[in-house]
Structure 1
Amino acid sequence: MLNILRSHRISRFAVIGGASTLVYAVCALALSRGGTGAAMLPATAASVVAYAIAGLFSYAGHKYFTFMSAGAHAFELPRFALLNAMGLATAIALPVVLTERLGMPAAIPIVLTCIVVPLVNYIVLRRWVFRDV
């Protein structure tokens, strides 16, 4: 029974995480024009704005759908914000290094952010943010 619940949670995480990642990627690519043509924002700024938008979607989705948490916002939101800040640091650092310093297209750090952040998030959300208190 525990394995079934765990697989359902992972499936729900994948749905919310995938949707959040898609929100991030679409916003970041649209704002930076994917490294082609005249960008609305530099790659780093586009990544920050996109990450903030995706973060709002992610908190609500994971709290109410993935982990179905009844925990207090006062407890969970600061922890989620800290985790999100670490993900945001990744979303900032990768474009700074890869796009601004190494001249790679904006799509490369966006894709890397889309891989690394969700992997870390599941572990931390499950064990620290939305854990049963």
Structure 2
Amino acid sequence: MLNMPRYGRISRFAVIGGASTLIYGACALLLSRGGAGAAILPATLASAVAYAVAGLFSYAGHKYFTFVSAGAHAFELPRFLLLNATGLATAIALPVLLTEKLGMPVAVPVVLTCIAVPLVNYIVLGRWVFRNV
């Protein structure tokens, strides 16, 4: 039988993750291309700023909507940031290792990142970041 609370949590996780991704993409494009065609920020800096903005949304969304945590920000935010940094490092390391060092097609590390990072995030967010103690 399907565990409905867990299924609901997975759905909420997907909604917040999808919205975070859209926020990242929109911010990165807006900041790097600007409204009038002139770049507001260089692409790399625009991407980093957009990642931070999306990360703030993701933290709040997962804390209050996905995992409904009443934990203290002083406890949960540093853990969230560490997990987020790990995901970013994975998104950088896999292409370096698999594409640049081993010569695999770019799609391989991208697909692996798209599968591994959300899966690890869901587990770690629920068991370590937003666990209800």
The TM-score normalised by the length of structure 1 is 0.70
- CA shift, 1:90, in A, is 4.9
Q: How does 1:116-131 map to 2 (within 5 A)?
A: 117-131=117-131
Q: Which residue of 2 aligns with 1:27?
A: 27
Instruction: Give ranges in structure 1 of 5+ residues lacking alignment.
Output: 102-107
Q: Distance in 1 between matches of 2:122 and 2:29?
A: 24
**Alpha carbon RMSD of aligned pairs, Å?**
3.2
Q: Which residue of 2 aligns with 1:58?
A: 58
Q: What amino acid is the match of 1:84?
A: N
- CA shift, 1:29, in A, is 2.4
Relative to structure 1, the CA distance from residue 2 to residue 129 in structure 2 (aligned partners, 3 Å threshold; closer, same or farther) is farther
Higher RCO (CA-CA < 8 Å; seq separation 6+) = 1
Q: Distance in 1 between matches of 2:2 and 2:71?
A: 21
2:24 equivalent to 1:4: no
Q: Distance in 1 between matches of 2:23 and 2:47?
A: 11
How many matched pairs? Answer: 117
Q: What amino acid is the match of 2:50?
A: A
Larger radius of gyration: 2
Q: Distance in 1 between matches of 2:25 and 2:3?
A: 31
The TM-score normalised by the length of structure 2 is 0.70
Q: Which residue of 1 aligns with 2:103?
A: none
Q: Distance in 1 between matches of 2:71 and 2:83?
A: 17
Q: Distance in 2 between matches of 1:47 and 1:121?
A: 21
Instruction: Give ranges in structure 2 of 5+ residues lacking alignment.
Output: 101-106
1:69 aligned counterpart, secondary structure: coil
8 Å CA contact retained: 1:51, 1:88? no
Deviations 1:51-92 (CA, angstroms, capped at 9, x unpaired): 00001111111101100011122211110111122234456x
8 Å CA contact retained: 1:62, 1:68? yes
